[in-house]
Structure 1
Amino acid sequence: MKPLPILFVLLSGCFALTGQNILLFPKESVTDYVILKPTVEQALKQLTVCLRSYTDLHREHSLFSLATPGSDNAFLIFLQPPKSCNVYINQEEFIFEVDPEVLDWKQTCVAWDSETGLLQLWINGRRYPRRVTTSRSPIGPQMSLILGQEQDSFGGKFEAGQSFVGEMSDVNMWDHVLFTKTISNSYLYESGNIFSWTNGTKEIRGGVMALKN
């Protein structure tokens, strides 16, 4: 008999991973999340984060949470379905009215430049009207990056009602702003230079599962 393909699943606990294709967050909780380990040597004056997600949640939830010791929402991508994507930079909130959610994989990219304050959001290659932040302070270098939960303190203090339930993949982070043409066509960009989904270290906590396509 020809062997069936096997999904590689990690049960609860803490594991360091590289190269996993999809992370599955199976349930609402405060225990299921993933820690990313970026390579950051100095505070970020620019950044771009891109990720893909798939969920049928109808409540608010966090996609990407970056906290520093002095700022729990130093950089946060927070969705409020069906039509709001909230982005925080150094505690400052910006609400983008976006196309209604559909049940499919979605690519979200956010870019920010501290010198100009320019904040940009793309969803599925479409850029929404740009905003300008008041803050010009670089982010980091000490930081806590969490997928699946929203940090209310550095590295913790989660709320189950803000947790992500669904699938996530292709999380990359750069220390510069990607060109619009590059973001609009995800095949054009290379892995993030400070966090790479292919090679970056991820620590799984709780019941999150790492799956191969």
Structure 2
Amino acid sequence: MRLWVSLLLAAISTATAGATVKSLLFPSETSTSYVDLSPLKSLTLSAFTLCMRVATEVQVGSPVWKVLKVVSLSRLSFYLSGDGVYFSVPELGALETHVCFTWDSQSGATAVYLDGRKSLTKIYKKVHVVRAGGKVLLGQDPDNFLGDFDAQQSFVGEMYDVNLWDSALSPSEIRDLASGRQVQRANVIDWATVQVQSHGEVQSATANKQ
């Protein structure tokens, strides 16, 4: 089971307008439950910050971007292409945790934050660029470009407040985010306005847009 936010390059994203998703519940392991998010701009990225709030009780490995994987509840890994970079962290659990990853291509600096607390910095994929095109999936780890999901690699739990910026936010901005303070709006995925399409058993709480 994995906690995936998966980025598929050169695919087409579909979306459902008219509602703001407040939270997403993935109730069980399946190969059919996932969510599409529609990015606000091209996914050409030379730096980014990915944040979300997550709760899960699964005790074996989990996904949140093919970029982000929970190998175990106390080990997070981060993938752009090829080998990933790993961080040992306090265990995730049923209590909500604010999780962020930051990465900057110019320096390769990569870090994970849990509830505003920063890990050590690791150097990863210096001068790499995430290419344009594609879509963002929540809840599954696609084994190839077209899908082929594996139930044992699906996310089980709740996630919301998923935001993606095309820059590496500062530690103070991420601390503010974790505590619910206002910072610059996410400019690639903005949870307050994002359009989504749910598949399979995913349940969501929604409210009409203003």
For Structure 1 versus Structure 2, the TM-score category normalised by the shorter chain is 0.7 to 0.9
Q: Alpha carbons of 1:57 and 1:171: their partners in 2 closer, same or farther (altered >3 Å)?
A: same
Trace 1:103-114 onto structure 2 (pairs within 5 A): 103-114=94-105
The structure with the largest alpha-carbon Rg is: 1
Question: What is the CA distance between 1:103 and its match in structure 2?
Answer: 2.4
SS in 1 for 2:85: strand
SS in 2 for 1:108: strand
SS in 1 for 2:21: coil
SS in 1 for 2:78: strand
Q: How far apart, CA to CA, are the structure 2 residues paired with 1:167 and 1:42?
A: 25
Q: Which residue does 2:124 correspond to in 1? A: 133
Q: How far apart, CA to CA, are the structure 2 residues paired with 1:59 and 1:130?
A: 26
Q: How far apart, CA to CA, are the structure 1 residues paired with 2:126 and 2:107?
A: 10
Q: Over aligned residue pairs, what C-alpha RMSD do you find? A: 1.8
Q: Alpha carbons of 1:93 and 1:22: their partners in 2 closer, same or farther (altered >3 Å)?
A: same
SS in 1 for 2:79: strand
Q: Percent of aligned positions with the same letter in both sequences?
A: 27
AA at the equivalent of 1:16 = T
Unaligned stretches of 5+ residues in structure 2? 1-13
Trace 1:40-189 onto structure 2 (pairs within 5 A): 40-41=41-42, 43-65=44-66, 76-186=67-177, 187-189=181-183
AA at the equivalent of 2:139 = G
Q: Which residue does 1:19 correspond to in 2? A: 20
Determine if contact 1:36/1:145 at 8 Å carries over to the other structure: yes
Partner deviation per Cα, 1:177-205 (whole Å, 9 max, x = no partner): 11110101212324311111111111111
- TM-score of the pair, normalised by structure 1: 0.83
Q: Which residue does 2:185 correspond to in 1? A: 191
Determine if contact 1:90/1:135 at 8 Å carries over to the other structure: no
Q: Which runs of 4+ in 1 moved over 3 A?
A: none
Determine if contact 1:89/1:133 at 8 Å carries over to the other structure: no
SS in 2 for 1:27: coil
Q: How far apart, CA to CA, are the structure 1 residues paired with 2:149 and 2:43?
A: 27
- TM-score of the pair, normalised by structure 2: 0.84
